[in-house]
């Protein structure tokens, strides 16, 4: 998919979980990946776990446009996972939306 750099949106979402819920939250977050990658406008979708703070996860994803981000947030799978996720968090989700300023490799 060819996109216009200025339209792309790159999201970093920090998910800090309660230690006793780490495994279930990890499984829930992994459930987001496949469906998200198949959504129209998804450029990439990755999950990371911080190596020195195992209760911190990061979703790093890229979208072709604001509209693609909005459609993703309204996707039934995202709504299902977030509903199950929220009670297991140690702090609110931290979400930043970014634009790319460097050229791709």
pLDDT at residue 102, rounded to an integer: 81
* Burial of residue 103, with CB atoms counted within 10 A of its CB: 0-12 exposed, 13-18 middle, 19 or more buried: exposed
At 103, the pLDDT band (50, 70, 90 cuts) reads: confident
Q: What is the rounded radius of gyration, in angstroms, for the C-alpha atoms of the chain? A: 14
pLDDT at residue 2, rounded to an integer: 59
User: Can you list the domains of the chain with their CATH numbers?
Assistant: 12-98 (3.30.70.100)
User: pLDDT of 36-95, one tens digit each?
Assistant: 999 999 999 999 999 999 999 999 999 999 999 999 999 999 999 999 999 999 999 999
Q: Nearest to residue 91, comparing CAs of 64, 56, 66?
A: 56
Q: With a threshold of 0.85, does the pTM exceed it?
A: yes
């Amino acid at each position: 998919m060819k996109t216009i750099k200025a339209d792309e949106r790159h999201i970093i979402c920090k998910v800090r979980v309660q230690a006793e819920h780490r495994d279930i939250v990890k499984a829930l977050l992994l459930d987001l990946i496949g469906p998200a990658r198949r959504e129209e406008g998804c450029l990439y979708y990755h999950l990371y776990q911080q190596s020195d703070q195992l209760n911190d996860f990061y979703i790093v994803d890229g979208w072709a446009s604001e509209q693609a981000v909005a459609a993703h947030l309204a996707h039934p799978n995202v709504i299902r996972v977030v509903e199950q996720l929220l009670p297991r968090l140690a702090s609110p989700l931290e979400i930043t939306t970014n634009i790319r300023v460097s050229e791709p490799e």
